[in-house]
């Protein structure tokens, strides 16, 4: 009998286990599409609640499970659900999709002068041909006055000088937002610059419990610094004589659109030390609120990490939120991600988002290493600490590991890894995968070291270095130079070196170049849309910061800080969009995106093509249409416009429109996705010949104009346009054309990434307007 019972239990265990798995509760978003406009806000919430009541045991359980009811532009709700409940909701008639809410992560003195937008106190630091263009653009745009930019991030430090409202006019009458109170933040912290502030924390607290008040503020106040940095990059006021770490990068700190109004939406929260969590349901609520509040531009420097493996757009909160924003004519700029140079890592790949990669400016913080054999190694640093004018013993961290510490651990100069006896008074070469500081300086200091060299253990770029402040004299070197230093250490009995104090150097060349960390294409969901769209400064960017998160190990408080990432490049493009919006308030979000993309440059300050971090020619999968040029974006000549209808038609081509709008009727033979009227052109798996349709709208000030087609085809391809001349009689006139791509050889197949790249452009008779689009083609 006992054996029989045991056998029965063994047979039942898998079933019991599977049932237990089904009852794991997670946060899901239930999406219905658009609102009909017939219900009041409380009625919408009651409708959402009724769906939960239908799958929960009691009404009380249903109410307790509801985190957000999205009532403004987005129609849906976020709730804590079991897989069984998800399955039931998914089968209901009006439900378009149910998907799990994800967790996301956060992905300037010189940068605006580099792109020709702002004047420094010393005018000779600005490229001459940009001076008039930059001042004209800002003047025409009234510095972004009355355009509202919503920044979805970690909050804001409102006391920063960058957010002063001195001299600003009244808040725009169209604004409908609020200034939400909370710890250390009340209505007095909003002004005519920061006109709104909200925070969203429900999903975060569902996962991690009540926020620890010692780790973050349960309000819009920023304890991390990232949100303050991005907000001031978009629209910070001009603040003179700003520098970091005692004098580096000194100049005028300013946002690209200094008089825009800022609306702050805090969705990322610190916990467990300095870990940061940004939850999908909270982000969706922020986007929904921003649309209702009346923002014109959104800047979102958040996203996923790693290579992309999604097959559909349907389960992405950013895709859904941005689609609703675009229907309300809001420009949404998002960071491309920091997972480069690995292919297929780019985030935010829907065509109604402008996706921003990161590149350099023409400034370095030079701090070379001089070796005992006379070699001088390039390095960068932003630390004010200096060594005495003498040579110091030089050691490799792996060779000076403390007792019972592995060399693999010690080589990174991680806590308690180095021997005090072997390090005291010496310069230590530490090796880590990415040249970013994570306490290496404190470990070398603990062990009594005089200074240290931070080398990349990853075969990265020849130019890309992130400069850092340190508690000891230090510099950062790239992989190849770190190996040179290591070879020198191993070649002599008594290696010695010194670190030359850092100094700021402007007008460095080549610039811009693509940052290695910037995520790369191709687009993993639809390779017929090139992503990223554009690149902008994202390496060593100086902007406002929170004094409560010291960037240096000695905990010194700072008001401005220098960091790198596509998080920094994204607000640059959001600012450019705000300036274009100020000049052309009736333009659609697609027209503004087109203007920014088609006026971009693919040439560096050496007059040569943009390169990647290793000095090799970069491709559109790194930079999209090129490096943004805000001084030209306000007068693009022609734009590629698109509407919400066009995006739904595009989704028909992917077979997913019913997940966004069940009422939309697709044509029997939807156009291919490459026929979306996009400012770039990609054709994946071309077999022979294909024709692609595009339509441009004349927005040139003169009205009458003639444009001529030219192209540089991808290798082994023929590219022709019909017609090849476009004649316009008036502003607003539209002209369509067809581009025919034909494979004349299989040379593309022999390329490493399987893609060939080129471009086509329309140029007017006097070459005042050059409307350029990149081309990417792969063969079947």
- Which of these, 355, 427, 372, lies nearest to 397 by C-alpha position? 427
Angle, CA 543 vertex, CA 508 and CA 132 arms, to 5°: 60
Supply φ then ψ for residue 459, to 5 degrees. -70, 80
| 638 half-sphere exposure, CB direction, 13 A CA radius | 32
Straight-line distance from the first to the last Cα atom of the chain, in angstroms, rounded to the nearest whole number: 65
Nearest 10 degrees: CA dihedral of 34, 37, 39, 44? 20
Is 153 in the active site?
yes
Cα-Cα-Cα-Cα dihedral sign, residues 279, 281, 283, 289:
negative
Cis preceding-peptide flag for 376 (omega within 30 of 0): no
Strands 331-335 and 297-300, bridge-based pairing: parallel
Separation between Cα atoms, residue 548 and residue 743, nearest integer Å? 58
Ordered alpha helix ranges (H), 459-554 = 479-491
Q: Give the bridge partners for 319, in sequence order.
A: none
| 8 Å CB contact between 535 and 569 | yes
Structure tokens at 185: 């933040």
Q: Active site residue: 567, 589, 601, 680, which one?
A: 567
- Which of these, 73, 88, 69, 71, lies nearest to 29 by C-alpha position? 69
- Which of these, 512, 710, 515, 546, lies nearest to 163 by C-alpha position? 546
| 8 Å CB contact between 224 and 276 | yes
DSSP element (H, E) containing 12: helix 2-22
Is 69 in the active site?
no
Q: Active site residue: 49, 107, 189, 226, which one?
A: 226
DSSP helix/strand/coil, 64: helix
Is 680 in the active site?
no
Structure tokens at 383: 């630390």
CB neighbours of residue 690 within 10 Å: 16
| 8 Å CB contact between 597 and 589 | no
767: CB partners within 8 A, 6+ apart: none
For residue 199, CA distances in Å to 180, 203, 220 come to 8, 12, 6
Strands 770-779 and 534-537, bridge-based pairing: unpaired
Separation between Cα atoms, residue 679 and residue 711, nearest integer Å? 14
Burial, 100: exposed, middle or buried (Cβ in 10 Å; 0-12, 13-18, 19+)? middle
Structure tokens at 499: 């670190």
Q: Active site residue: 48, 49, 97, 153, which one?
A: 153
Just list the catalytic residues.
153, 226, 567
């Amino acid at each position: 009998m006992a054996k029989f019972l045991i056998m029965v239990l063994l047979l039942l265990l898998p079933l019991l286990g599977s049932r237990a798995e089904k009852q794991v509760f997670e946060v899901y978003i239930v999406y219905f599409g658009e609102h009909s406009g017939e219900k009041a806000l409380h009625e919408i919430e009651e409708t959402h609640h009724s769906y939960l009541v239908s799958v929960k045991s009691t009404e009380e359980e249903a109410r307790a499970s509801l985190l957000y009811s999205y009532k403004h532009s987005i129609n849906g709700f976020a709730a804590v659900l079991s897989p069984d409940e998800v399955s039931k909701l998914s089968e209901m008639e009006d439900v378009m999709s149910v998907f799990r809410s994800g967790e996301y992560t956060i992905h300037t003195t010189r940068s605006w002068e580099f792109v020709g937008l702002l004047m420094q106190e010393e005018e000779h630091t600005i490229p001459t041909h940009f001076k008039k263009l930059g001042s004209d653009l800002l003047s025409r745009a009234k510095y972004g006055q009355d355009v509202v930019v919503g920044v979805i991030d970690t909050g804001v430090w409102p006391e920063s000088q960058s957010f002063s409202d001195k001299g600003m006019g009244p808040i725009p009458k169209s604004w409908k937002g609020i200034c939400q109170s909370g710890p250390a933040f009340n209505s007095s912290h909003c002004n005519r610059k920061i006109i709104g502030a909200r925070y969203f924390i429900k999903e975060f607290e569902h996962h991690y419990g009540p926020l620890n008040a010692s780790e973050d503020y349960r309000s819009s106040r920023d304890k991390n610094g990232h949100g303050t940095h991005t907000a001031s990059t978009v629209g910070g006021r001009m603040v003179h004589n700003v520098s970091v770490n005692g004098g580096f990068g000194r100049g005028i700190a300013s946002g690209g659109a200094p008089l825009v109004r800022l609306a702050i939406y805090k969705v990322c929260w610190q916990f467990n030390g300095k870990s940061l969590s940004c939850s999908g349901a909270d982000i969706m609520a922020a986007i929904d609120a921003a649309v209702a509040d009346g923002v014109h531009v959104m800047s979102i420097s958040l996203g996923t990490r790693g290579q992309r493996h999604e097959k559909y757009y349907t389960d992405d909160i950013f895709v859904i939120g941005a689609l609703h924003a675009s229907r309300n004519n809001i420009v949404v700029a998002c960071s491309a991600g920091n997972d480069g140079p690995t292919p297929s890592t780019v985030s935010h790949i829907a065509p109604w988002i402008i996706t921003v990669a990161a590149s350099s400016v023409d400034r370095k913080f030079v701090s070379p290493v001089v070796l005992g054999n006379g070699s001088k190694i390039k390095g960068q640093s932003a630390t004010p600490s200096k060594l005495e004018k003498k040579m110091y013993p030089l050691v490799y961290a792996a060779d000076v590991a403390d007792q019972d510490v592995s060399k693999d651990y010690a080589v990174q100069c991680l806590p308690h890894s180095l021997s005090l006896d072997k390090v005291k008074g010496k310069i230590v070469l530490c090796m880590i995968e990415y040249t970013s500081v994570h306490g290496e300086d404190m470990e070398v200091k603990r062990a009594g070291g005089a200074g240290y060299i931070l080398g990349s253990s990853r075969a990265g770029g020849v130019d890309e270095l992130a400069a850092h402040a340190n508690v000891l004299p230090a510099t950062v070197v790239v992989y190849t130079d770190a190996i040179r230093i290591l070879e020198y250490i191993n070649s002599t009995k008594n290696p010695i070196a010194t670190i030359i104090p850092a100094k700021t150097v402007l007008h460095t060349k080549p610039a811009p170049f693509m940052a290695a960390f910037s995520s790369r294409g191709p687009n993993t969901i639809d390779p017929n849309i090139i992503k990223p769209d554009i690149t902008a400064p994202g390496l060593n960017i100086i902007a406002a910061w929170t004094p409560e998160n010291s960037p240096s190990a000695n905990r010194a408080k700072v008001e401005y800080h220098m960091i790198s990432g596509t998080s920094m490049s994204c607000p640059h493009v959001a600012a450019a969009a705000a300036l274009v919006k100020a000049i052309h308030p009736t333009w659609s979000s697609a027209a503004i995106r087109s203007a920014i993309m088609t006026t971009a440059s693919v040439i560096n300050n050496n007059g040569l093509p943009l390169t990647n971090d290793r000095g090799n020619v970069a491709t559109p999968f790194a930079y999209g249409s090129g490096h943004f040029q805000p001084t030209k974006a306000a007068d693009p000549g022609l734009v590629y416009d698109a509407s919400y209808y066009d995006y739904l038609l595009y989704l028909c081509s992917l077979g997913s429109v019913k997940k966004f709008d069940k009422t939309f009727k697709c044509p029997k033979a939807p156009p291919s996705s490459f026929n979306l009227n996009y400012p770039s052109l990609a054709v994946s798996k071309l077999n022979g010949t294909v024709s692609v349709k595009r339509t441009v709208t004349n927005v040139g000030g003169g009205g009458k104009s003639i444009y001529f087609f030219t192209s540089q085809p991808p290798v082994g391809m023929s590219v022709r346009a019909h017609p090849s001349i476009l004649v316009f009689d008036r502003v607003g006139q539209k002209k369509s054309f067809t581009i025919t791509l034909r494979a004349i050889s299989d040379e593309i197949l022999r390329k490493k990434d399987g893609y060939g790249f080129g471009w086509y452009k329309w140029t007017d008779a006097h070459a005042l307007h050059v409307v350029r689009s990149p081309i990417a083609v792969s063969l079947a």
